[in-house]
Structure 1
């Protein structure tokens, strides 16, 4: 027996389930990047908002590359379980995802969903590299996906091409403006997404004023979401008494902060824990330069020491001391207006959660894009202020050394990876190159 709307009544009472009829829910949100993080984070908040205040805020989820998620969720009527990993784990079934599409297979259905008058919100979790930005944070017009999308704008591959095409259709149909919310770890994510869409539209859809067709608020998201594995699926199946091939797992902690700049209506997110604020930047700086930077440090240094999970790496006394020193001596002085040490204390506790199997090799992926957001800006700012950078440099060196174990050794002279401030600064180069491998 498999989880679906038909079998939902057979789920044990210990498992929370939607308080509304998911089958009757219409869609008002399109999400690009239907991976585990969205299903464990934004979709959960939306599920709670629907339960709290109603509204047709069902989600059309779009996988950007592969059909796996759609093939998993469609037979389950979009239902899936979220396993909350804590001292005593808990389980809930989410009903907010009502359709699961795959962009390469169904581009016209995706564009139709974006253009639908009922769609008022678009969210994205496409990772840093999914924005097709260059080293300066602008749209990379030479990126293969952007080159393709400019040549074939009605069959887009990239999130930027999809958004521009959807907005063009909405304007042509006279639909109301919508709100587009980046939920990725990109500095100034709303502004950079807006600029990228506008740069694309200027070439593919001359005359389209993307800034008038949508608002692009800044945002910050946080929750540790390990990749699901056979062990986590087996735990969920035992609790449900049936199979759930779409189950995801996450830690208990969750945070979502959105700039109060919406183009139209929104779910009652503010009633279920989402922070709607005037300025997201302080929240994002803490997340990027404390939690995310520490994750990267643990990933590369920990993998080189033979560790597998975050909890193992933070349990290594040498690595824990390294991180404490990095935060105290380099990150906190570089962010003097933020409560870095208090925030780090909470993050450090989260890293030690024995129930969370967060793989270091999962965090290590796409290091060039991640370090460009998490490490490089702080190194550059610290160097300008004559503050220490040695440990931050050691993280970068560890990434270079780990990359070499994967068959590719990045060069410090590569302009596609390292910003000019690092390539041209002898002190920053030395901080990277002269640390122990």
Structure 2
């Protein structure tokens, strides 16, 4: 293994086919602070920003912040913030070195430093990829969860917050105190109406600090809605080794991505923005319908394939899609349940979008693990499945695939697979969900289904009242017990289409 890490001094020695920053990185100033600088941000928003910095917009450099662990800092800082975006498809591999990120802070190590950075006048955008659970909200209602441990901690310890909300409100309080303008807070997470949700929980959090600050924040911030789309699987040791053979040096911060990328952004920025549209982003007045299309078709399908695919013994989404019955099931779900729940714009080619999603899921060059997509289901399911489900129930539409998906999720969070092996369930409510399984499964699948649909942190108050949904999910659980997931898919969906 090469001992040399990717860094500024060896950029010019990289192979000619590798795309490299052609600008002077020392001339770039910080205009964006990004909270939650994981793989997705590096392959998406930072990648778009790199394009604009290269075009001369040098006041939009990024400083990243990790709110939990030093892992990303330890990957990026020894490399002067440089990292590779490796686009993988069935047609081949393309490597681009991104230089948009100048530094990474670690919140728990230096909370005051991060608060001061966020309070700098030159910072005009604070962007977020903190996953659904990072918003400290109740997914069923969309309100701030005042009992969330991070919220309780941050209100008591404003100088050393843990949550993104604590940092943002703390920094805005400093700006107010110092007579400085606010900033745009840009959610890039997969949440419906993510801008409205973020604005709501920020003000609700600030109200708990003081109402005058909450009113100032409401007047001195904007929270545009966004829709983000790019499949970015977790980088493996094999990925790094393959890249090392190309670069001739080690890149510990490399991210893998599909060639496809989409970013739809509400054009509502307080103090300017990069011209991301010139890098391929789309600025619109209303993002919501694009969010719904993506959440209900792509993310809804992805989660359905993740739980049922994992239980069928498939490691990656491409493995799942290589099974013809699953391939048909994915398209069937998009056509019959997901798409019919949305008023698709007349100028949007939904059939072409569905076909493109199938092709993306079939990309064997990306090893997107079903287990990775299955993480945090309690936070994702309300956005990805339940809006579609409520629409179909209200309109007496089809719920066959969503009921199947829910049954598989219930099986998954029991933490035991079909062969009796344990499942490592990564979910903030994992203990509660397993307790439901342990308590009600012995009473039968009808009781188990009723207990889950009455679990308000995920399902709210209404779905427990649907006898049709109860019977559909319970019926699938019976079939899964009798035959297993893969056999159910092959028997029930192989002939469709």
1:225-304 → structure 2 map (5 Å cutoff):
225-304=232-311
Rounded to whole Å, the distance in 2 between the matches of 1:218 and 1:343 is 21
Number of equivalences: 437
Counterpart contact for 2:135–2:198, Cα < 8 Å: yes
The CA deviation string for residues 155-209 of structure 1, in whole angstroms up to 9 with x for no partner, is 1111111111111111212222311110001111001101101011011143112
Partner of 1:399: 409
Rounded to whole Å, the distance in 1 between the matches of 2:195 and 2:176 is 20
1:407-426 → structure 2 map (5 Å cutoff):
408=434, 411-412=451-452, 413-426=454-467
Counterpart contact for 1:168–1:205, Cα < 8 Å: no
Please say if 1:323 is aligned against 2:364. no
Partner of 2:24: 21
Q: Offset of 1:264 from its aligned partner?
A: 1.1
Partner of 1:348: 358
Higher helix share: 2
Which range is displaced more, 109-118 or 50-59?
Answer: 50-59
1:133-152 → structure 2 map (5 Å cutoff):
133-134=137-138, 135-152=140-157
Partner of 2:289, secondary structure, is: helix
Work out which of the residue numbers 149, 155, 159 in structure 2 matches 1:154.
159
Partner of 2:462, secondary structure, is: helix
Partner of 1:228, secondary structure, is: coil
Please say if 1:47 is aligned against 2:50. yes
Q: Offset of 1:340 from its aligned partner?
A: 3.7
The CA deviation string for residues 342-370 of structure 1, in whole angstroms up to 9 with x for no partner, is 32111001111121111110000001111
Rounded to whole Å, the distance in 2 between the matches of 1:204 and 1:375 is 35
Rounded to whole Å, the distance in 1 between the matches of 2:65 and 2:405 is 34
Rounded to whole Å, the distance in 2 between the matches of 1:223 and 1:401 is 28
Partner of 1:376: 386
Q: Offset of 1:235 from its aligned partner?
A: 1.4
Rounded to whole Å, the distance in 2 between the matches of 1:22 and 1:426 is 61
Partner of 1:112: 116
Counterpart contact for 1:394–1:432, Cα < 8 Å: yes
Q: Offset of 1:336 from its aligned partner?
A: 4.2
Aligned pair in 2 of structure 1 residues 153, 431: CA closer, same or farther (>3 Å)?
farther
Q: CA RMSD in A?
A: 1.3
Work out which of the residue numbers 97, 104, 108 in structure 2 matches 1:100.
104
Q: Offset of 1:319 from its aligned partner?
A: 1.3
Please say if 1:64 is aligned against 2:105. no
Partner of 1:98, secondary structure, is: strand
Counterpart contact for 1:311–1:354, Cα < 8 Å: yes
Which range is displaced more, 145-154 or 412-421?
Answer: 412-421
Work out which of the residue numbers 121, 124, 132 in structure 1 matches 2:125.
121
The CA deviation string for residues 84-113 of structure 1, in whole angstroms up to 9 with x for no partner, is 112121101100001101111111111111
Counterpart contact for 2:27–2:58, Cα < 8 Å: no
Please say if 1:31 is aligned against 2:34. yes
Partner of 1:84: 87
Counterpart contact for 2:38–2:72, Cα < 8 Å: yes
Partner of 1:185: 190
Rounded to whole Å, the distance in 2 between the matches of 1:24 and 1:247 is 24
Partner of 2:398: 388
TM-score normalised over the length of structure 2: 0.86
Rounded to whole Å, the distance in 2 between the matches of 1:116 and 1:316 is 53
Work out which of the residue numbers 309, 318, 325 in structure 1 matches 2:316.
309
Rounded to whole Å, the distance in 2 between the matches of 1:344 and 1:264 is 37
Rounded to whole Å, the distance in 1 between the matches of 2:133 and 2:470 is 24
Partner of 1:344, secondary structure, is: helix
Rounded to whole Å, the distance in 2 between the matches of 1:256 and 1:179 is 17
Which range is displaced more, 297-306 or 10-19?
Answer: 10-19
Counterpart contact for 2:381–2:458, Cα < 8 Å: no
Please say if 1:166 is aligned against 2:157. no
Counterpart contact for 1:74–1:100, Cα < 8 Å: yes
1:218-229 → structure 2 map (5 Å cutoff):
218-229=225-236
Runs of 4+ off more than 4 Å? none
Counterpart contact for 1:332–1:341, Cα < 8 Å: no
Which range is displaced more, 321-330 or 345-354?
Answer: 321-330
Q: Offset of 1:55 from its aligned partner?
A: 2.5
Rounded to whole Å, the distance in 1 between the matches of 2:344 and 2:230 is 24
Partner of 1:89, secondary structure, is: strand
Please say if 1:194 is aligned against 2:199. yes
Rounded to whole Å, the distance in 2 between the matches of 1:417 and 1:260 is 31
**Greater Rg over alpha carbons, structure:** 2
